[in-house]
């Protein structure tokens, strides 16, 4: 079900949410998804949820441009890791430095920390930012959508 601010709620609408998530992912990718990628996204979507509660006890309403991230990334501190590292606390974290996550060599060797500028470059074209990165997502083409994603990531503390 849709709620205020285009956020899904954790309860209800599982199949609809899976279909719409697959559709949104196709709009945000630079190339069409393979059947296997869609199947993976749909299989992990119910775990991720779009309305999550953090361990700080506050509800997180996820803006539409962030929804595509939830196929592979957890956003609450107390959620288990998915295909990618948790996004909780990503701002200021060393690139390739989420504790307990096995990164590709491409990200492990990147110097620096995630901030607005590095996240914008990474989200625009992950493979260009770190050639050989395991993340198969093609990037967020829209600068406005990247800003929304980064603004949301700043709230995950």
Q: Each residue of 116-127: pLDDT tens digit? A: 999 999 999 999
- What integer is the mean pLDDT of 19-37? 49
Kindly tell me if the per-residue pLDDT of 30 is higher than 50. no
**Nearest alpha-carbon partner for 26 in 13, 11, 42:** 42
- What integer is the mean pLDDT of 15-36? 48
Q: Are 150 and 116 in contact (CB under 8 A)?
A: yes
This prediction's pTM: 0.63
Kindly tell me if the per-residue pLDDT of 18 is higher than 90. no
Min mean pLDDT across 27-31, 133-137, 145-149 is at 27-31
Domains in the chain with CATH codes: 4-155 (1.10.760.10)
Q: How many angstroms separate the CA atoms of 43 and 22, rounded? A: 11
Residue with the bigger pLDDT between 147 and 20: it is 147
What letter does residue 33 receive in the DSSP assignment?
P
Output the six-digit token pair for 156. 């995950």
What pLDDT shows up at residue 136?
Answer: 87
H-assigned helices in 2-142: 14-28, 35-48, 64-67, 105-108, 116-124, 126-129
What pLDDT shows up at residue 22?
Answer: 52
Kindly tell me if the per-residue pLDDT of 145 is higher than 80. yes
Tens of pLDDT along 51-109? 444 443 345 689 999 999 999 999 988 888 899 999 999 999 999 999 889 999 999 99
Q: Are 139 and 146 in contact (CB under 8 A)?
A: no
- What integer is the mean pLDDT of 17-27? 49
What pLDDT shows up at residue 52?
Answer: 46
- Other beta carbons within 10 Å of 27: 10
Please list, in sequence order, all residues whose beta carbon lies within 8 angstroms of the beta carbon of residue 31, skipping any fewer than 6 positions away: 138
**Nearest alpha-carbon partner for 83 in 51, 41, 138, 31:** 41
| Mean pLDDT over the full length of the chain | 75
What pLDDT shows up at residue 10?
Answer: 38
């Amino acid at each position: 079900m849709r709620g205020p601010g285009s956020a899904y709620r954790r309860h209800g609408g599982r199949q609809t949410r899976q279909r719409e998530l697959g559709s949104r992912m196709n709009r945000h990718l630079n190339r069409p998804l393979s059947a296997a990628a869609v199947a993976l996204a749909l299989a992990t979507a119910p775990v991720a949820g779009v309305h999550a509660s953090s361990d700080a006890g506050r509800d997180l309403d996820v803006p539409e441009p962030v929804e595509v991230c939830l196929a592979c990334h957890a956003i609450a501190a107390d959620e288990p890791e998915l295909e990618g590292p948790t996004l909780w606390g990503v701002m200021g974290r060393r690139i390739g430095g989420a504790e307990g996550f096995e990164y590709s060599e491409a990200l492990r060797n990147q110097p620096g920390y995630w901030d607005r500028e590095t996240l914008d470059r990474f989200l625009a074209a992950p493979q260009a930012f770190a050639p050989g990165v395991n993340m198969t997502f093609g990037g967020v083409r829209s600068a406005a959508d990247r800003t929304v994603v980064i603004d949301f990531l700043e709230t995950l503390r």
